[in-house]
């Protein structure tokens, strides 16, 4: 079964103070997708996500979200979107329950008491209902933020760097929730800098300085770079790492545990250099699959804006 397209936009542009932040973006998203936005800081990820869902009006372009026009029906879209900001934005001197009651009243929800009780139960917050949110750890604050996003049962979630500053266990629990929501048909748009998180997305978009360069699955994004990667094992040292970085054709090299991963595009040139290193040290090497992190770094380096002297 092919899921319907719920977001479809063309030629979205946005400028701030005369600087072009988003440049003619075309994008479509299907129902239930977990769609990740990658790119260096200032690449227009958050601005694009906000425009897709009617939270920010583009300077030009057109499109629909949930069947509504993003230019003329943004209020209808907002009522069906849950937005989780990067920075914690709840009243720290109110309890969890009081904050959720306040959010429910802002949305004008009926059966408010029952809704708040249910969302606290669903997110494991019931036993902490009377705790001031200002005393919560990062992981618990994130639970409250996600619960608040879901109070009005939105069709689309917007998550801006949602797991920044929380521990690995809390991050895994968070992702379990997101994938469960995806199975229920909730669509998630999120920006992230964590490659392991990006790999959990069903599709990705890579933006660089306003331009949408690539969209696709993790494998498609990696393949689009044409990057080749080798793993060096054996007597691996930081000194060897510095030698590897200087080899002709190498675009990036880094330590990964007891190995060095080295990447580039010139296969013959790089392998020639690796053979020379092997002659003078107890090392071995072999080609491996490039990771999303390898591809991301390559894309960042390729997309660096040209500066004029």
Res. 163: pLDDT tops 80: no
pLDDT of residue 305: 61
> Around 111, how many Cα atoms within 13 Å sit in the side-chain half-sphere?
7
Answer yes or no: are the C-beta atoms of 83 and 95 closer than 8 Å.
no
The highest-confidence range among 52-56, 93-97, 207-211, by mean pLDDT, is 93-97
Residue 160: which of 270, 59, 47, 57 has the closest Cα?
Answer: 47
CA dihedral 120, 126, 129, 131 (to 10 degrees): -120
pLDDT in tens, 67-88: 999 999 999 999 999 998 777 7
pLDDT in tens, 251-281: 999 998 899 999 999 999 999 999 999 988 8
Q: Sign (positive/negative) of CA torsion 164, 88, 36, 183?
A: positive
Topology of domain 5-222, CATH: Rossmann fold (3.40.50)
160 vs 202, which has greater pLDDT? 202
To the nearest whole number, what is the mean pLDDT of the chain? 91
Answer yes or no: are the C-beta atoms of 298 and 252 closer than 8 Å.
yes
Answer yes or no: are the C-beta atoms of 26 and 212 closer than 8 Å.
yes
Spatial distance between the Cα atoms of 7 and 3, rounded to a whole number of angstroms = 12
Altogether, the residues listed in the chain come to a count of: 309
Q: What is the DSSP string of 80-95?
A: TEEEE-SS--S-TTSB
Q: What percent of the chain has pLDDT over 90?
A: 70
2 vs 130, which has greater pLDDT? 130
Which single residue is written with the structure tokens 């690539």? Answer: 214
pLDDT of residue 54: 84
β 68-69/60-65 pair status: antiparallel
Which single residue is written with the structure tokens 């109110």? Answer: 94
Res. 309: pLDDT tops 50: no
Model confidence band, residue 288 (pLDDT cutoffs 50, 70, 90): very high
How many C-beta atoms lie closer than 10 Å to residue 144's C-beta?
Answer: 23
Q: What percent of the chain has pLDDT over 70?
A: 97
Res. 308: pLDDT tops 50: no
Exposure string for 89-114, b = 16+ CB within 10 A, e = fewer? ebeeeebbbbbbbebbeeeebeebee
How many C-beta atoms lie closer than 10 Å to residue 257's C-beta?
Answer: 8
Architecture of domain 228-289: 2-Layer Sandwich (3.30)
Backbone angles phi, psi at 266, to 5 degrees: -95, 90
Mean pLDDT of 303-309: 54
pLDDT in tens, 10-27: 999 999 998 999 999 999
Domain ranges of the chain: 5-222, 228-289
């Amino acid at each position: 079964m092919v899921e319907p397209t719920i977001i479809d936009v063309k030629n979205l542009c946005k400028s701030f103070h005369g600087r072009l932040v988003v440049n003619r973006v075309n994008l479509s998203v299907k129902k239930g997708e977990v769609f990740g936005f990658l790119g260096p800081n200032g690449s227009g990820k958050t601005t694009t996500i906000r425009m897709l869902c009617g939270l920010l009006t583009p300077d030009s372009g057109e499109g629909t979200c949930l069947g509504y026009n993003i230019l003329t029906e943004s209020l209808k879209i907002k009522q069906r979107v849950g937005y989780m900001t990067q920075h914690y934005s709840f009243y720290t001197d109110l309890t969890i329950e009081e904050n959720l009651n306040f959010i429910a009243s802002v949305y004008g929800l009926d059966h408010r008491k029952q809704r708040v009780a249910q969302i606290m139960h669903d997110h494991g917050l019931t036993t902490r209902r009377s705790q001031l949110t200002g005393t919560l750890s990062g992981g618990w604050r994130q639970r409250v933020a996600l619960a608040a996003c879901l109070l009005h049962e939105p069709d689309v979630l917007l998550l801006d760097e949602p797991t920044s500053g929380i521990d690995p266990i809390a991050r895994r629990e968070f992702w379990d929730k997101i994938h469960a929501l995806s199975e229920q048909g909730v669509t998630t748009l999120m920006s992230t800098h964590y490659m392991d998180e990006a790999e959990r997305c069903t599709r990705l978009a890579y933006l660089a300085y306003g331009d949408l360069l690539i969209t696709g699955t993790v494998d498609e994004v990696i393949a689009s770079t044409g990057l080749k990667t080798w793993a060096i094992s054996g007597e691996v040292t930081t000194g060897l790492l510095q030698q590897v970085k200087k080899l002709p054709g190498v675009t990036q090299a880094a330590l990964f545990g007891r190995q060095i991963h080295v990447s580039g595009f010139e296969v013959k040139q790089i392998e020639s250099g690796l053979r020379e290193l092997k002659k003078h040290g107890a090392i071995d090497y072999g080609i491996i699959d490039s990771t999303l992190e390898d591809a991301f770094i390559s894309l960042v380096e390729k997309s660096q804006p040209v500066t004029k002297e």
